Chains A and B, each alone.
Chain A
């Protein structure tokens, strides 16, 4: 007589997360804000360092979007990301206008940070009005702080992107190379998606912050690659009001900066995309292949 062995309950192996940044939301905001502010002031730095600051700023913005949207905005997550970018562009315009005061041309522009602070004030005001019982009454805890952070993070992101592409924060240079070439339209949409997409894609019952942050880093990497590509294009053509005048390489420093940023961006994207897929596979209860679609017999 054969005895069927009792089914051994397999102990579910607890797979830990493969990726952890040891910072909570407040620390992340402080670190990202300070690093991005220092990098945005010194425009002479290599593009890769600005790219790292850009990634940190995106992580900060993503955290603010996440802690606001957790309570349900009623209009979907995209709205708050677009709001941050809208504030960011206005703040960046003011910062760029102020940049010529107290700075060294081509090296450091400390006055741009006034634009960041002014946008923080506008964000705070709109947060207070949105959360006030007598006005819009959204009743989201700490919305005021989140909207202020979003305004500041958005401004820092747009300023960093302008600084990467232009290499300086001179208003005329930015207008010629970013606004008049139409690059700002791409920046607007890409920044929107960098801020809103991580939480919008990951939200759900089992959302966790580490996994959402991987998506944020991954998108920031893609944006770095795009900006590097834009730098290569801008360095090899001399643009005059949109028409290609000559195809001479006018700035080799910018070309190599662009190439290095492109390689950095693609590497960051590939690494974190792989890590994200792996984390999803690990944290899922089970991953099974369904095979090809079967026809009914």
Chain B
């Protein structure tokens, strides 16, 4: 029972969740019609799916190791694999199903590969599919988000001394408000780190800091009252 470490890792996890939500390619309803870049659903669903997969892999790793880095990294890898598979399937569906090329709507030249984007974009739309820079950004988002979720899981499991089930649902429940507040900050769709909306990140970070700090204090109270120990 180490209250400072619990609060520290919960706050870091919350901030990483918020950052991860900003990096993901969220297409929302327009992407479902192929008229916006990204995966065709909201931030919450994508982030919840990635975080849950990350928690599964982190929980499996936590059964045989006490290393914080190993547990957090395995959570990050789980979330990255999940989000990569989703983005790949989205690309396959858009390319072979709708016959449109993955192209970014927010930039004229891909910031990573320097490929031209504007000539391939259908007029009146906001891009299609998941192009290269967006794919890299989504990978980073999944990695960062999964890392944050697994950090919280580790803190709740080993420092707050909860059982595995309680730690998993507790970390998921702290992760979710942070990701959703980030989603409200984004307002709909975002492509990744090259999107102009990414500049709004500090606002979500401030809110996320406050909310996860309060949640961390509540976890410390719960852990102190149930497990006991010295503060």
Contacts and interface: CB of A to CB of B under 8 A. Distances in A.
A79 interface: yes
A72 to B, nearest CB: 10
B225 A90 contact: no
A99 to B, nearest CB: 9
Nearest to B185: A136
Could you say which of A73, A88, A126 has the most chain B C-beta atoms within 10 Å of its C-beta? A126
B184 A85 contact: no
Interface string B28-43: 1100000000000011
Interface stretch (B76-84, B124-132, B169-177): B169-177
A88 B215 CA distance: 11
Nearest to A135: B203
22 contacts: A74-B186, A79-B42, A79-B43, A79-B44, A82-B48, A83-B177, A85-B173, A86-B176, A86-B180, A90-B215, A90-B218, A94-B221, A96-B222, A97-B225, A126-B210, A129-B181, A130-B184, A130-B207, A135-B207, A137-B203, A138-B184, A181-B165
B181 A136 contact: yes
Interface in B212-226: 214-215, 218-219, 221-223, 225-226
A78 to B, nearest CB: 6
B15 interface: no
Contact of A136 (B166, B172, B203): B203
Interface in B195-220: 203-204, 206-207, 210-211, 214-215, 218-219
Interface string A262-287: 00000000000000000000000000
A179 interface: yes
Closest 6 A/B residue pairs (Cβ) = A86-B176, A89-B173, A97-B222, A74-B187, A179-B165, A97-B225
Given A82-B180, A90-B174, 18 more contacts: A74-B184, A75-B183, A78-B45, A83-B177, A86-B174, A90-B173, A93-B219, A97-B221, A100-B225, A118-B218, A125-B211, A129-B181, A136-B181, A136-B203, A171-B226, A179-B163, A182-B165, A184-B169
Contacts of A136: 181, 184-185, 203-204, 207
Contact of B219 (A73, A90, A180): A90
Interface in A126-143: 126, 129-130, 135-138
A181 B183 CA distance: 32
B190 to A, nearest CB: 11
A137 B186 CA distance: 11
Interface residues of B, number: 42
Contacts of B207: 126, 129-130, 135-136
A245 B131 CA distance: 53
Contacts of B204: 136
A217 B170 CA distance: 27
A122 interface: yes
A74 B222 CA distance: 34
B116 interface: no
Contacts of A31: none
Contact of B222 (A79, A88, A94): A94
B22 to A, nearest CB: 13
A181 B44 CA distance: 26
A73 B204 CA distance: 15
Contacts of B185: 136
A82 B176 contact: yes
Interface in B130-157: none
A110 to B, nearest CB: 15
B111 interface: no
Contacts of B174: 86, 90
Nearest to A183: B165
Given A94-B221, A129-B206, A85 B165 contact: no
A47 interface: no
A116 to B, nearest CB: 12
A93 B42 contact: no
Contacts of B183: 74-75, 79
Listed residue (B48, B164, B175) with the most chain A CB atoms within 10 angstroms of its CB: B48
A87 interface: yes
A205 interface: no
A75 B163 contact: no
Contacts of A239: none
Contacts of B48: 82
A79 B206 contact: no
Given A75-B187, A79-B183, A122-B218, A86 B173 contact: yes
Most buried by A among B184, B210, B214: B184
Nearest to B214: A122
Interface in B88-144: none
